[in-house]
Structure 1
Amino acid sequence: MNRIRRNNKKQNRYSILFPILTIVGIGIIIAFVTNYEPNWSYNWNGIRAEIKDSIQVAELRGITSGVGGMGISTKNEVERRRWIMKNATESELLKLTEYPNGIVKGIAYEGLLRKKEFSNKTELTLRAIRDTTYQIDYQSGCLGWNINIGEYLVQNVLLIDDEIPPPERLPNFGLSEIDKEKILAEYKKRLKREY
């Protein structure tokens, strides 16, 4: 009784190949999961290409006061942010408030506040204060820190935080004193919960 062993060689080849492919497959999945960025799956429908391109650059740069480390001007970052806020439509900015990045959300919220024709500024600011999933990388001079979007809007855009001395002239965003008090109350309530 002689048995033919031709099939065993093929089975041996495949039995070695299966564990190798399994390890490679698991490695690829782990690499993808550990490096996944939520903005990869963001739906850009309704946002023009020039706004998208500027947003993707701004996302990498952060938000700056205009002065960088060692007194170097960060004018380009400020101008890019202003350009986005000026040229993006209300619908584009509203869509960008859902973008999975604090810098982009901050630019979108600020842009909507600066649009004179946008009417729901109080509700928008209250929503921004509650939006704590992503933070803004903020730089002023040699210092950089992370702040919540609501904190950025109240302290650096609206300038209504009573803990910080107000400038000589406050910007006019069309908010009434009652609206400002409502925003400040929600802001302080949120700060107490965080600390």
Structure 2
Amino acid sequence: MMARFYSLFIDRALKDLRKGIPEFAGMQPGEKVLDVCCGTGDQAMHIAGLGLEVYGIDLDERMIAVAEANKRRTRRENISFQTADAAALLFKSRSFDYATISLALHEKPPEIQLQVIEEMRRVVKKGGVLVLADFGVPAKWFIRLLEGLVGGDHYACFKAYQAAGGLEALTTKIGLKVEKRAAVMGGAVELRYIRN
């Protein structure tokens, strides 16, 4: 039910983000991308449409089922999806030119956020790029409202993420050098470009 709702409503609302990430990153056809916590695969599908080889992973089997259905509908051969844990990726080190994560760090406890980013760094080639996208701090009123409606652990993690300072504080804590910053969707979502 949640996967279908996400596909019908949230993916449509995130069109600017979907277009913005590959442009912001400077992705080129033929490069290899890992989309972490890919959800319904919408971001991965957009990147694949630009001629890149894309792998999407998510821990939620229902999201991956929607992503696979979307892949079949578009008949894209340069994309694959699998159920996997972002904090323990099964890919070999230095396998990708890029690793992206969109609107997923805020829903995880701080220790898992760190593990996910470390795993992204491990699988990206030296000189490759990590792109992190998540809600700005302070979050816009409608983001706070939506997150509150989701409730539970998800909302608790969102509040902790906001209180800790979001992407800026997270990247500083890990010691990552952010080369480029941007915002999309009227500043609701922030982007960070990190050279590995």
How would you bin the TM-score normalised by the shorter chain?
under 0.3
Max radius of gyration: which structure? 1
Q: Greater helix share, 1 or 2?
A: 1
Comparing both structures, which one devotes a greater share of its residues to strand?
2
**TM-score relative to the length of structure 1:** 0.28
> TM-score normalized by structure 2?
0.28
Higher RCO, 1 vs 2 (CA within 8 Å, ≥6 residues apart): 2
